Amino acid sequence: MKIAFFTETFLPKVDGIVTRLTKTIESLTKAGDEVVVFCPEGCPNEYMGAKVIGVPAMPLPLYPELKLGLPGAAVSDALDELKPDLIHVVNPAVLGLGGIWLAKTNGIPLVASYHTHLPKYLEHYGMGMLEPLLWELLKAAHNQAILNLCTSSAMVKELSEKGIQNTELWQRGVDTETFRPELRNDDMRKKLLGKFTDTGSLLIYVGRLSAEKQIERIKPVLEKIPEARLALVGDGPYRNQLEKIFENTATTFVGYLSGNALASAYASGDAFLFPSSTETLGLVLLEAMAAGCPVVGANKGGIPDIITDGVNGCLYNPDAKNDGTESLVKATQKLLGNENERKIMRNAARLEAEKWGWSSATEQLRGFYKKILEKSDNQIAA
């Protein structure tokens, strides 16, 4: 198959969407598929056998790490050269809309996928009143596609309720070879603890430091559990505010980690806290679980697809009083409270992650593609 991806997010940016996309591309090219990726400029020219074409882009004002690509004649020319069997638009925005238009004008089957819950992000930037309008725009874009893929059952349900048609679940995936319990080590643990003593209650967060991640919700946990220590791994536009919020708490700002260092950080924590209630999936949770770190996450969005409460982690209710503060504290206390139970959860977390390799997720995707192309060929023949 020849597949063209249009994505607003790609390397060198690192996040859950880019991880899923790069792992998917790697699996597709290994299977013999020809892949081209259209994404914002600043990208590599090639990735794992796929051609990557950068287009002029400008940063989104409220989310500067996200660049909106502006498709031009070069995109159309490259598409004519490849003659793809199928176009897959990832999180359609400006560049994605160009991909949709090119699919429609050239009669190329179109798939879209939904990864970032942008309507829910708006309220964290003081723009909640625009949520209904954004849903209408998303509906108009996604309903151009033959198939709309979501990364959790909750998102399949919500998008369907909002009027987005032809939705299917694109199963989760995680790299269980990179992220594994054996990478737990004392040197990384000391790095995560910073200047603080090791009490056996090291909480870690990995991800973008931004308003919609609701990281400030962890502060009451530190106040209620004095022996707890917190390591924030990652960076982002909200870091300065978070440094003020967590001032005088046992918190270490670690910055970005990648590769083995990141895998070791996951494995070296006692519990992974992820307070965000806007996640379509929460890939970092799966990575933590693969590393044998039990997790606490919100009982909302795609997270309940991953966490079985009390088995491989703990869920908290983000809609309870005081932004779920009491619920988050109790869930963390439950996870930290008994070393034997936490060990059982560690093992269960790893076993859950082992079910979800990237190769099987990509084979599922290839199955979707093949069905669409077979249906398209039958329609042409008729």
The domain ranges of the chain are 2-173+357-381, 181-353
Question: Do the bridges between strand 271-274 and strand 57-60 make them parallel or antiparallel, or are there none, so unpaired?
Answer: unpaired
3-class DSSP state of 4? strand
Which comes out higher in pLDDT, residue 149 or 302? 149
Q: Do the domains 2-173+357-381 and 181-353 sit in the same CATH topology, yes or no? A: yes
Q: Which tens digits make up the pLDDT trace of 174-208?
A: 999 999 999 999 999 999 999 999 999 999 999 99
For the residues 248-268, what does the mean pLDDT come to?
97
CA distance 92 to 142: 8
Q: Which tens digits make up the pLDDT trace of 16-37?
A: 899 999 999 999 999 999 999 9
**CATH number, span 2-173+357-381:** 3.40.50.2000
Q: Are 289 and 271 in contact (CB under 8 A)?
A: no
3-class DSSP state of 356? coil
Question: Which residue(s) pair with 47 in the sheet?
Answer: 50
Domain 181-353 has CATH 3.40.50.800: no
If we measure between CA atoms, which residue out of 291, 251, 295 comes closest to residue 271?
Answer: 295
Q: Is the pLDDT of residue 9 over 80?
A: yes
Q: What proportion of the chain, given as a percentage, has pLDDT over 90? A: 73
Q: Is the pLDDT of residue 329 over 70?
A: yes
CA distance 145 to 165: 9
Q: Is the pLDDT of residue 380 over 80?
A: no
> Which distant-in-sequence residues (6+ apart) come within 8 Å of 106 by Cβ?
79
Residue in the structure block whose two tokens are 């933590």: 288
Q: Is the pLDDT of residue 135 over 90?
A: no
Confidence class for position 65, pLDDT limits 50, 70, 90: low
Confidence class for position 280, pLDDT limits 50, 70, 90: confident
If we measure between CA atoms, which residue out of 68, 81, 10, 19 comes closest to residue 42?
Answer: 10
For the residues 309-313, what does the mean pLDDT come to?
94
If we measure between CA atoms, which residue out of 198, 216, 180, 218 comes closest to residue 270?
Answer: 198
